[in-house]
């Protein structure tokens, strides 16, 4: 334990109390920036010569009354007595050797602002705003379906999820394939239907948006969605399935009705995804800026290619009894990689996705009306018509016969103009 005192730097301020113990004396800067400890190397300070450990810096000190104010230590040009007690001065002056054993800069207190910063509120510009949603349907159309046409004072989007679709807008024809999307503007007469005896799946969305930017879609009507835009549209459909009861893909859907237990923010997500899609499509008129893909994007693209290749193989082998191990051997990938790739890019497991493909193909064959139910079950690798019917009802909630009847009834309703758009 060392005695302590207060030492001036530029101007002399006498200490009010000084004490010494053993052979140490501490000096502290009055501004609390520095603290320095000196050690005596003289026997009169309480330790025999040669017993004090060597110090990095040692010198022969002047009398302490001068040393405390000497410019060689604290930068003062004055040398005046600090302590009025002669006994203390005489005792310290008899120790001619001193060494610095510790010196450090003290932490300064943080100075805080007394007044708050002036904040500026920046209002975000809104280029597009979807105010109201009118209809949102996912329809599985029968073969030879054709809609005679209509016009209304709001926007309509038709997306071809599967098959082919022919439309006419104000007398101008357009042919759509899987992945294509078409816009119908307000008060534009439009009609359309299945092309080349296909059984298309289409998503029909109508909404109100009076933003001037929507004029872009009057000149650019048909789009082939890229991978990113298809992902946005898929998110839009998922939000629609969560928000309404009955869901948008149900045969019972006639008008939008809120689902009582819908997840929080479902309707807002529909608006956000729709506006996001519209903005992406308008941005197409600007030249894209080339950028190097990060390593994570390259790996994600590789996983997507694996999932796409396996999915394409499944489509051509629906009658086979495929297993995960067989697919891993054929494509030379691990089970973990295959399952991860499928989950990430399809949202389903490998065999779950395979069963989904088979049932979607079954619904398409039912709408084509070329094969009976037994032939459909055999073409898709089901062991019996009964097993096929059970799996079909487990997924769709209807037997194959009930499904065929519902498709025909929906087609009659659509062709007679019974869609309630209010």
Closest CA to 70 of 83, 61, 59: 61
**Measuring CA to CA, how many Å separate 62 from each of 52, 71, 88, 97, 123?**
20, 12, 15, 9, 71
pTM for this model (two decimals) = 0.55
**DSSP code, position 171:** T
Cα distance from N-terminal residue to C-terminal residue, the chain:
89
Beta-strand (E) ranges in 254-384? none
Give the start-to-end residue ranges of the domains of the chain.
3-105, 132-285, 295-415
pLDDT at 158: 94
Average of per-residue pLDDT across 96-103: 49
Packing angle between helix 385-396 and helix 350-368, nearest 10 degrees?
100
pLDDT at 139: 86
Place of tokens 């050690």: 39
pLDDT 10s digits, 378-400: 999 998 999 999 999 888 888 89
Pick the CATH number of 295-415 from 1.20.1070.10, 1.10.260.40, 1.10.10.60, 2.60.120.1600: 1.10.10.60
Domains 132-285 and 295-415 share a fold: no
Per-residue b or e along 69-95, where b marks 16 or more CB atoms closer than 10 Å to that residue's CB = bbeebbebeeeeebbeeeebbeebeeb
pLDDT 10s digits, 68-78: 444 334 344 44
Closest CA to 9 of 37, 22, 24, 28: 28
260: left (phi over 0), alpha (psi -120 to 50) or beta: alpha
* Cβ–Cβ < 8 Å for 207, 154: yes
pLDDT 10s digits, 57-93: 333 444 444 444 443 343 444 434 444 445 444 544 4
Give residues with Cβ within 8 angstroms of 87, minimum separation 6: none
pLDDT at 255: 80
pLDDT 10s digits, 241-278: 899 887 777 766 678 888 889 999 999 999 999 999 99
Long-range contacts of 86-90 (CB under 8 A, 24+ apart): 88/18, 88/20, 89/63, 89/64, 89/65
- Superfamily for 132-285? Regulatory protein AraC (2.60.120.280)
């Amino acid at each position: 334990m060392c005695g302590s005192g207060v030492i001036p730097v530029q101007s002399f301020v006498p200490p009010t109390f000084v004490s010494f113990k053993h052979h140490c004396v501490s000096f502290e800067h009055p501004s609390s920036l520095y603290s320095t400890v000196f050690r005596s190397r003289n026997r009169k300070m309480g330790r025999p010569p040669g017993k004090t450990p060597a110090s990095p810096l040692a010198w022969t000190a002047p009398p302490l009354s001068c040393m405390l104010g000497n410019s060689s230590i604290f930068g003062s040009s004055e040398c005046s007595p600090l302590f009025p007690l002669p006994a203390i001065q005489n005792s310290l002056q008899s120790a001619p050797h001193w060494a610095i054993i510790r010196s450090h800069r003290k932490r300064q207190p943080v100075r805080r602002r007394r007044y708050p910063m002036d904040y500026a509120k920046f209002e975000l510009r809104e280029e597009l705003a979807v105010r109201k949603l009118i209809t949102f349907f996912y329809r599985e159309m029968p073969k030879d379906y054709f809609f005679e046409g209509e016009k209304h004072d709001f926007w309509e989007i038709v997306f071809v999820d599967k098959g082919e679709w022919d439309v006419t807008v104000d007398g101008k024809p357009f042919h759509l394939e899987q992945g294509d999307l078409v816009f119908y503007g307000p008060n534009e007469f439009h009609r359309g239907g299945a092309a080349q005896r296909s059984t298309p799946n289409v998503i029909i969305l109508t909404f109100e948006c009076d933003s001037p930017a929507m004029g872009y879609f009057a000149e650019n009507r048909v789009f082939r969605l890229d991978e990113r835009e298809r992902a946005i549209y898929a998110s839009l459909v998922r939000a629609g399935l969560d928000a309404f009861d009955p869901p948008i893909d149900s045969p019972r859907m006639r008008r939008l009705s809120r689902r009582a237990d819908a997840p929080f923010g479902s309707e807002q997500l529909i608006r956000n995804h729709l506006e996001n899609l519209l903005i992406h499509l308008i941005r197409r008129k600007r030249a894209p800026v080339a950028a190097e893909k990060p390593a994570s994007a390259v790996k994600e693209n590789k996983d997507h290619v694996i999932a796409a290749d396996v999915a394409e193989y499944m489509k051509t082998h629906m009658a086979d009894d495929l297993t995960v191990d067989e697919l891993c051997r054929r494509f030379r990938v691990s089970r973990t990689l295959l399952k991860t790739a499928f989950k990430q890019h399809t949202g389903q497991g490998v065999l779950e996705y395979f069963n989904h493909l088979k049932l979607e193909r079954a619904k398409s064959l039912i709408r084509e009306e070329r094969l009976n139910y037994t032939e459909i079950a055999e073409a898709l690798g089901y062991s019996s018509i009964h097993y096929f019917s059970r799996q079909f009802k487990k997924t769709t909630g209807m037997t194959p016969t009930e499904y065929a009847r519902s498709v025909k009834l929906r087609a009659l309703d659509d062709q007679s103009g019974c869609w309630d758009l209010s």
